[in-house]
Amino acid sequence: MSAGLEVRGVEFSYPDGRQALRGVDLAVSSGERVAVLGPNGAGKTTLALHLNGILTPSAGELRVGELPVVEANLGEIRRLVGIVFQDPNDQLFMPTVGEDVAFGPANLGLTGPALDSAVRAALEAVDGDALGDRPPHHLSGGEKRRAALATVLAMTPDVLVVDEPSSGLDPAGRRELVFTLQSLPMTQLVITHDLPFALELCPRSVIMNEGRVVADAATAVILSDSDLLAANRLELPFGFSLSAPPQPRSPRTVL
């Protein structure tokens, strides 16, 4: 299953007074994979933390499917929206990967064969069948990312948010992660600085800067606009060329 996301006029300031979100509007349809691009400090991770109620906006509203993201709904919202954090060590803290993957569903009340089945399905989804008995600190960077993803998939979310998933991966690990995410059916919001990764994985991208969504278009169109990338401190790797011709329209700039 998957659910759409709707963000309307969301604003948020941290306790030190820094305003991180300034009227963010974003709609993601059920089953879409959308990349969120932008420089450091643009508000990308702050937005992600609003999607399952870790942070609460000072203005605006968010919905997951038909469900408002408000305190009364947080139990269900946190089941619907799974977040894979930038550092997989934030989600791997048990003696073995299998125990980490079991932690969430066990807290939902799953036991016995049902719990074993949930763990097995989550590990299979990330091609991690052999990881279950291994200590997380013995894993490679790519294996840790897949294990962290499995801990979220075990909760059977309708929406998956992944923060900088390709960071620190070697080419083989990056390729494996692309394949894994492409195989998952749920709605996905992918926060990344890796523009080729976004192109390979997400048909659509948005750019955030200074707490706002400033562009929203097909990823190939976004990446073909060098002025837009430069204005938002984004750049393609040296020598990179788009593998497919961009669609014949310009990115929609959001004022």
Q: Residues 55-114: pLDDT tens digits?
A: 999 999 999 999 999 999 999 999 899 999 988 888 999 999 999 999 999 988 899 999
Please determine, for residue 27, whether its predicted confidence score (pLDDT) is greater than 80: yes
Kindly indicate the confidence band of residue 243, based on its pLDDT and cuts at 50, 70 and 90: low
Of the candidates 97, 98, 115, the one whose C-alpha atom is nearest the C-alpha of residue 106 is 115
Q: In what order do the strands lie in the sheet with 19-28?
A: 19-28, 5-13, 59-64, 67-68
Helix/strand number for the chain, H first, E second: 9, 11
38: left (phi over 0), alpha (psi -120 to 50) or beta: left
| 177-193: pLDDT as tens digits | 888 899 999 999 999 99
- Domains delineated in the chain: 5-86+159-253 (3.40.50.300)
Kindly indicate the confidence band of residue 1, based on its pLDDT and cuts at 50, 70 and 90: low
Please determine, for residue 14, whether its predicted confidence score (pLDDT) is greater than 90: yes
The H or E element containing residue 142 is helix 141-153
The more confident residue out of 196 and 172 is 196
The predicted model gives 123-151 an average pLDDT of 91
Q: How far from chain centre, in Å, is Cα 195?
A: 15
The predicted model gives 217-221 an average pLDDT of 96
> pTM for this one?
0.88
Kindly indicate the confidence band of residue 248, based on its pLDDT and cuts at 50, 70 and 90: very low
What is the model's pLDDT at position 247? 44
23: left (phi over 0), alpha (psi -120 to 50) or beta: left
The more confident residue out of 246 and 15 is 15
Phi, then psi, of 215 in degrees rounded to 5: -155, 150
Q: How far from chain centre, in Å, is Cα 177?
A: 13
Q: Indicate the length of the chain as a whole number.
A: 255
